Structure 1
């Protein structure tokens, strides 16, 4: 048997009041959060709490649906290498969110699990239910209230894979067409993931966001492509610093191209950023072009 569950995180302001949630069905779900946290923290904590909640059935396989490539990659690609290096990145700096990652590393031992990436805000039932509960938890913390923690994993309904007993689990399918705002939200979350300092410090991590033909015009006029990014990071250098983000627009031009514009405030400056993301069927959305323009300096 396989339990199919969605795990999601939400941060109002990122960072800001944050929440996490996992969802199997209406009788089996959990949620929580913090007064201050990030979206990445919520994504990872949701997966951690799902493993904890289902620990009484260690032989049952988990199929975890995430709309966060960051969370999936942390667990399936990057975590073993970080652990070998004493939870440090290739530049010697501590891995962010390592308290959650260390706990994840412990709870997955002996468990059977797979991850599947799904598009966020695209009408996927389980993902939408998890997203609603994570956002509700973040909103509760913003208001100084205790979030609804949910019933946890009871198994009382006999529900496996999100269905009534005796029914086969539904296939995980992508919607044939998505509302424009939903596609834009999904891609903007990826852009924010790319701005994460932990991701930007390691080529293996940052390259997962990049299209093979990626190009970027930096705020100082320099040019980046995949090979240049590799050279900088492998030599111990850093990519340009990021800062708080103010979204201006996120607009799909068609089903496979989304343009994003936002302002960012790194190191006291104000920078205008324009990005274009292309959807590759086999690899999801990837950053194809990005340009930074300094609007003002402190």
Structure 2
């Protein structure tokens, strides 16, 4: 009998900044059967890449048990980093090929821990192309930035 590879959970993530660095927000949409869970957060001074990583980490951390996951992102930095570049970084002691420290290493390490907990298929989708899951994650990230901006203005 073949092993079922159908994802149990489908996740869409997005992160962004107003200014880079600047006010940042992230959003994640998790689908499990008929259930949907929306997650988001913000940081006052961060980068777009940090928010993309944070969205994936927080979404995977939200799963209460190990799962098969299909994770969709519009960030090639996130997808390439976790599927290709990370192996060299680990081999090089968290240094790039140019022997410089890997940017956002603590976030990459947190994401790596989640990849050891879950079975994840990483997918890329073009941002702002009408893909509903990506658009919803983008809205959550922008709403989180709006919330922080409003809190900061008060």
The whole-number CA distance in structure 2 between the counterparts of 1:75 and 1:69 is: 10
Deviations 1:7-44 (A, max 9, x none): 10010012100011110258402111210111111111
Tell me how far 1:139 sits from its aligned partner.
2.2
Structure showing greater relative contact order (alpha-carbon pairs closer than 8 Å, 6 or more residues apart): 2
Tell me how far 1:84 sits from its aligned partner.
1.6
The whole-number CA distance in structure 2 between the counterparts of 1:94 and 1:139 is: 32
The whole-number CA distance in structure 2 between the counterparts of 1:53 and 1:140 is: 22
Match of 1:44 in 2: 53
Which one has the bigger helix percentage? 2
Match of 1:24 in 2: 30
Say which SS state the counterpart of residue 109 (structure 1) adopts: helix
Return the index of the structure with the highest Cα Rg. 1
The whole-number CA distance in structure 2 between the counterparts of 1:143 and 1:35 is: 12
Say which SS state the counterpart of residue 23 (structure 1) adopts: strand
Is residue 2:66 matched to residue 1:77? Answer: no
The whole-number CA distance in structure 2 between the counterparts of 1:21 and 1:108 is: 19
Correspondence list, 1:89-100, <5 A: 89-100=96-107
Q: Structure 1: state its 5+ residue gaps.
A: 146-298
Report the TM-score, using the length of structure 2 for normalisation. 0.86
The whole-number CA distance in structure 2 between the counterparts of 1:81 and 1:30 is: 31
Tell me how far 1:142 sits from its aligned partner.
2.5
The whole-number CA distance in structure 1 between the counterparts of 2:130 and 2:37 is: 20
What's the C-alpha RMSD, in Å, of the aligned pairs? 1.5
Say which SS state the counterpart of residue 139 (structure 2) adopts: helix
The whole-number CA distance in structure 1 between the counterparts of 2:94 and 2:129 is: 35
Deviations 1:185-220 (A, max 9, x none): xxxxxxxxxxxxxxxxxxxxxxxxxxxxxxxxxxxx
Report the TM-score, using the length of structure 1 for normalisation. 0.46
Correspondence list, 1:282-297, <5 A: none
Is residue 2:150 matched to residue 1:143? Answer: yes
The whole-number CA distance in structure 1 between the counterparts of 2:125 and 2:146 is: 24
The answer as to whether partners of 1:15 and 1:37 remain within 8 angstroms in 2 is yes
Which residue among 70, 84, 94 is the counterpart of 1:63?
70
The answer as to whether partners of 1:24 and 1:126 remain within 8 angstroms in 2 is no
The runs of at least 4 consecutive aligned structure 1 residues that moved more than 6 Å come to none
Tell me how far 1:143 sits from its aligned partner.
2.8
Which residue among 28, 35, 40 is the counterpart of 2:44?
35
The whole-number CA distance in structure 1 between the counterparts of 2:100 and 2:145 is: 29
The answer as to whether partners of 2:24 and 2:145 remain within 8 angstroms in 1 is yes
The whole-number CA distance in structure 2 between the counterparts of 1:110 and 1:27 is: 21
Match of 1:15 in 2: 21
Say which SS state the counterpart of residue 72 (structure 2) adopts: strand
